[in-house]
Amino acid sequence: MRVILHVDLDAFFPSVEVREHPELKGKPVVVGADPKEGKGRGVVSSASYEARKYGVRSALPISRAWKLCPNCVYLRPHFDLYIKASNAIMKILKNHADRFEQGGIDEAYLDISSRVKDFDEAGEFAEKLMEEVLDKEKLTCSIGVAPNKMVAKIASDYKKPYGLTVVKEEDVKGFLFPLKVGKIPGVGPKTDRRLKEMKIETVSDLATLNPEAMTRQFGVWGAKLHEYANGIDFSEVVEGYETKSIGREVTFEHDVDDEELILNVLDELAEDVHKEVIDCGLQFKTITIKVRYQHFDTHTRAKSLLFPTNDLVILRNNAKRLIAPYLRRNKKIRLIGLRVSTFVHR
DNA sequence: TCTGGGGTCCTAGGACCC
DNA sequence: TCTGGGGTCCTAGGACCC
């Protein structure tokens, strides 16, 4: 039998900020874009639990956060700090797993099957892990323990912050069934709405449905979803990770139609992307540009080269060629982006 | 009402090849 | 006038995650 842990750091960005600036302890802290007295453009990256009491949460427009909580402490993200803290914690976690998979800056899966004899022991194991992280890095995390990754992930979110949720094999359905379908990883706002139209609200509604109905509506993904709802997930905790794409994008302070300005910013994006490509020792074959107009209609255009390269001039010139048809359309531009992919590792 | 920036994965049509 | 089947690559768009 497998025993999988999902470790999720609590309000990670604000928690690191509070750790570095103890005078913030107990205050509502919001990490994200500059609110500019309610006129800022951008969103909340992460809010402390104190800030969440005001309704401020991740992905909320920063202007709305400002209206909900003008007295919150608003901070710009310090990614260098978060990456450092994350690396230190991941190193601790990795030491306690047969297999370890990082699932983002603030979460990881651990396969600990060989290290415990049952789920009771796994619970104690997880508790010690939470204490070790708090002791060594002064940050709290929540852990879900389950027979697979999907259930472990849902479980880690079940009691937060500093919560531990153990779901034994025989309790999986009892745990999942009362939950809203939106709790299943991969079910976002769109799928949630479509499911609601089908009168599917809870995981049990989904689980007890005819799987063919799901396949008809959602294809392969529908069949997978039906399995998830029944607590089935055979995916493994995998260590290896290869970068698939590297990109940069910027949203302008104000929507723009100044061609020269746009091309200058595109050049800067190209330089940034190029630098990271070189740092990673990669060569790319595909170049993709992205344009978002003022009302949010978004387009991408891609070009695959005949040979892989890491040349800045080639990147810059292709980016320019790709974006050209989107300029001078009497539509102001909100965002431009540049991404490279199809890597050859050298 | 307003919607960041870093990504991954999937789908679907068309080109092309055998 | 009617035109298979399988595979791969390319491109564009969309959903989702942190």
Q: What are the tens digits of pLDDT across the range A197-230?
A: 999 999 999 999 999 999 989 988 999 999 999 9
The residue-averaged pLDDT of A291-319 equals 97
Instruction: Give the tens place of pLDDT for each residue, A83-92.
Output: 999 999 999 9
Reduced to 3 states, what is the DSSP secondary structure of residue A298? Answer: strand
Judged against a pLDDT cut of 90, whether residue A5 lies above it is answered with yes
DSSP run (H or E) holding A335: strand A333-345
Note the pLDDT of residue A346: 63
Instruction: Provide the CA A316 to C1' B12 distance, Å, integer.
Output: 30
Report residue A22: phi and psi, to 5°: -60, -20
The pLDDT tens digits of the residues spanning A269-285 come to 999 999 999 999 999 99
Active site residue A271: no
Banded pLDDT at A189 (limits 50, 70, 90) = very high
Taking the CB of residue A326, how many other CB atoms lie within 10 A of it?
Answer: 18
Determine contact, residues A333/A252, Cβ cutoff 8 Å.
Answer: yes
Cα torsion for A173, A174, A175, A181, to the nearest 10°?
A: 60
Give the pairing type, strands A4-9 and A107-111. Answer: antiparallel
Q: Pick from A81, A76, A50: which is nearest to A62 by CA?
A: A76
pLDDT at A300 over 90: yes
**Residue A180: beta bridge partners?**
A202
Query: Mean pLDDT, to the nearest integer, of A29-39?
Result: 95
Q: Which protein residue lies nearest to nucleotide C11, measured between its Cα and the C1' atom?
A: A302
Q: In whole angstroms, give the CA distance from residue A34 to residue A40.
A: 6
* DSSP state letter for A232: -
- Judge if the beta carbon of A45 is closer than 7 A to nucleic acid strand B: yes
Domains of chain A by range and CATH?
Answer: 4-10+80-170 (3.30.70.270), 14-75 (3.40.1170.60), 177-229 (1.10.150.20), 245-345 (3.30.1490.100)
In this model, does residue A23 exceed pLDDT 90? yes
Residue A303 confidence (pLDDT): 98
Say what the pLDDT of residue A239 is.
87
Cβ neighbours for A62, distance < 8 A, ≥ 6 positions apart: A30, A32, A33, A34, A35, A40, A41, A42, A43, A44, A74
Query: For position A63, what pLDDT does the model report?
Result: 96
Q: Residue A218 CA to B12 C1' — how many Å?
A: 14
Q: Is the CB of A306 within 7 Å of strand B?
A: no
Compute the average pLDDT of residues A7-14.
Answer: 98
Protein CA A185 to sugar C1' C18 (Å): 12
Output the pTM of the full model: 0.95
The reply to whether A106 has its C-beta less than 7 Å from any atom of strand C is yes
Residue A340 has pLDDT above 90, yes or no: yes
- Give the model's pLDDT for residue A39: 92
CA torsion A97-A103-A106-A109 (nearest 10°) is: -30
Closest residue, by C-alpha, to the C1' of B9: A186
Look up tokens 């802290």; give the residue.
Answer: A29
Q: Is the pLDDT of residue A345 over 70?
A: no
A70 cis-preceded (ω within 30 degrees of 0)? no
Q: How far is CA A344 from the centre of its chain?
A: 25
- C-alpha–C-alpha distance, residues A80 and A131, integer Å: 25
> CB of A123 within 8 A of CB of A115?
no
Residue the block writes with tokens 């539509």? A331
pLDDT digits (tens, 9 = 90+) for A231-280: 999 999 998 789 999 999 999 999 999 999 999 999 999 999 999 999 99
Mean pLDDT of chain A: 96
From the list A19, A20, A16, the residue with the least C-alpha distance to A31 is A16
Q: What is the per-residue pLDDT for A241?
A: 81
Residues in chain A: 346
